[in-house]
Structure 1
Amino acid sequence: MTEFVLVAGAWLGSWAWDDVLPDLRAAGHGVHPLTLAGLAERRGAPAGQQTHVQDIVDLIEERDLREVVLVGHSYAGVPVGQAAERIGDRLAHVVFVDAVIPVDGEAFVGAGPWGREVAESIAANDGHWPPLTADEFAGQGLTDEQIARIVTGATPHPGGSLTEPAALAGPLTDFPATYLTCLLDSPEPPPAAATLLTGPTWHHATLETGHWPMFSQPRDLAAALLTAAKR
């Protein structure tokens, strides 16, 4: 039996996976959606990026999970990628869902204009990155109802997790992984993922939807996760 550990991206908690869980459970697998420190029901808890890495490792070790498929969406790809190398032989596969790939010594915000914009937003909002407004979800394959659900449930994201650099002990090619590109968001995987996809341990898959497939196409996302788990 596969044990899926699901980690959503910025502003979101475990609730974001609610529509994905039934199909994974119906296939006979364990499913463990995780809320990272500082978000959703854990809002207010101190959180840096390594806090989030430890959140993932702790859940896996405390529940003594084996045959783990780690799933990281968007921002969560950064702590998930780091956690993957820390859980040893408990890991079966990693799935990056339209996610940022961790690079040793680099922060999620990175360099360049977008990174500076996010850093300035964090500084101006009491150390948190404010959630997107409803208008900013346009063109992502979401209904008005789905957008309202995300906006209503979103919480400000702890800024330290976005500005703290990743710490990797080895190359991400050391474990099997799937990168899932959401084509409405971008037709190609980001450069860091594209490089890794040239190696033998990484696989590429796509979904005809936007950046939040757990809301726009939850059943298709569940099917993609089940396929990745068989690799």
Structure 2
Amino acid sequence: MTRFVVVAGAWLGAWAWDEVVPGLREAGHEVHALTLSGLAEKQGVPAGQRTHVQDIVDEVERLDLRNVVLVGHSYSGVPVGQAAERIGDRLARVVFVDSNVPVDGKSFLDSFPSDHIRKSLDENGGDWPTLDPADYAGQDLTDEQIARMVTEGTTHPGATLTEPAVLAHPLADLPATYIKCLLDGDELMDPVGELVESGPWELVRMDTGHWPMFSRPRELARVLHESATRP
């Protein structure tokens, strides 16, 4: 049996996977949706990047999970990628869902032009505030889905965005699938493009927006299932 540990991106908690989990369980998998420190029901818990990595490692070890597929969406690809090498032979695969990936010595904000986010952190006491409803436009989401993300989303702890990642080995060493959501742009960020082009990583494209757990939950569950069952 494959054990999935699924982690949503900025502002979101375990609840973001509510419509994906049933499809994975129907396919015979065990699924654990994880809320990172400082978010959702854990809002107010101090957290940096290493805290989030430890959250994931602790979940795997606490439940004594084996044959684990770690799934990281958006921001959470950074701590998930670090946790993947930390759990050793417990790992079966890591799946990055339209996500950032860790680069040793660099933070989440170092990976793309992020002056607007740094300014927002300065203006909001070091936290990253939730998006406005208009920011979700064009991402294949219904008004109801957007309303839920806005009302249930919580501010994101800024230290997790500025603390650098720590990797002991190249990302290419990880058995990985990268899911690119095309409505969020079809270009792969570095170093994902290089890893896909050179062969070690599988690439799957989904014709939807950046939050496929809301816009296409059944399709995402199918893609995750297929990734988990590849040799």
Q: TM-score range by the shorter chain?
A: over 0.9
Matched with 1:96 is 96
1:222 aligns with 2:208: no
For residue 186 of structure 1, report the CA deviation from its aligned partner: 1.0
* Aligned 1:166-185 pairs, distance under 5 A: 166-185=165-184
Instruction: Please say if residues 69 and 92 of structure 1, whose CA atoms lie closer than 8 Å, have aligned partners that are also in contact.
Output: yes
CA RMSD, 1 decimal: 1.0
Structure 2 residue matching 1:195: 3-state secondary structure: helix
| Residues 50-65 of structure 1 mapped to structure 2, 5 A cutoff | 50-65=50-65
1:45-194 to structure 2, matched below 5 A, reads: 45-110=45-110, 114-194=113-193
Query: Helix, strand or coil for the counterpart of 1:32?
Result: strand
2:74 partner letter = S
Distance 1:192 1:126, change over 3 A: same
Separation in structure 1 between the aligned mates of residue 189 and residue 220 of structure 2, nearest angstrom: 19
Contact map agreement 1:47 1:158 (CA 8 A) in 2: yes
> Do 1:37 and 1:52's aligned partners in 2 also have CA atoms closer than 8 Å?
yes
> What SS class does the counterpart of residue 78 from structure 2 fall into?
helix
Q: CA-to-partner distance for each residue in 1:124-176, whole Å, 9 max, x for gaps?
A: 11110001000000000001111111111110000000000101001011121
User: SS at the partner of 2:99?
Assistant: coil
In 1, Cα distance between equivalents of 2:188 and 2:25 = 29
1:65-100: CA deviations, max 9, x gaps?
000000000000000000000000000000000000
CA distance in 2, matches of 1:115, 1:135: 19
Deviation at 1:199, TM superposition (A): 3.4
> How big is each residue's C-alpha offset from its partner over 1:173-231, in whole Å with a ceiling of 9 and x where there is no partner?
11210000000001122121111113333100011100000000000000010011012
- CA distance in structure 1 between the aligned counterparts of 2:115 and 2:145, rounded to whole angstroms: 30
Secondary structure, aligned partner of 1:191: coil
- 2:72 and 2:193 mapped to 1: Cα distance? 17
- Which amino acid letter does the alignment assign opposite residue 197 of structure 1? V
Secondary structure at 1:36 match in 2: coil
Indicate the residue corresponding to 1:36 in structure 2: 36
> TM-score normalized by structure 2?
0.97
Listed as ranges, the gaps of 5+ residues in structure 1 are none
Instruction: Give the aligned residue type for 1:94.
Output: V
Equivalent-residue separation in structure 2 for 1:80 and 1:198 (angstroms): 22
Identity %: 61
The secondary structure found in structure 2 opposite 1:70 is strand
The residue identity in structure 2 corresponding to 1:40 is A
Displacement of 1:111 in angstroms is: 6.4
TM-score (norm 1): 0.97
Q: In 2, Cα distance between the equivalents of 1:111 and 1:36?
A: 21
Task: Give the AA of the match of 2:75.
Answer: Y
In structure 2, how many angstroms separate the alpha carbons of the residues matched to 1:39 and 1:118?
18
- Give ranges in structure 2 of 5+ residues lacking alignment: none
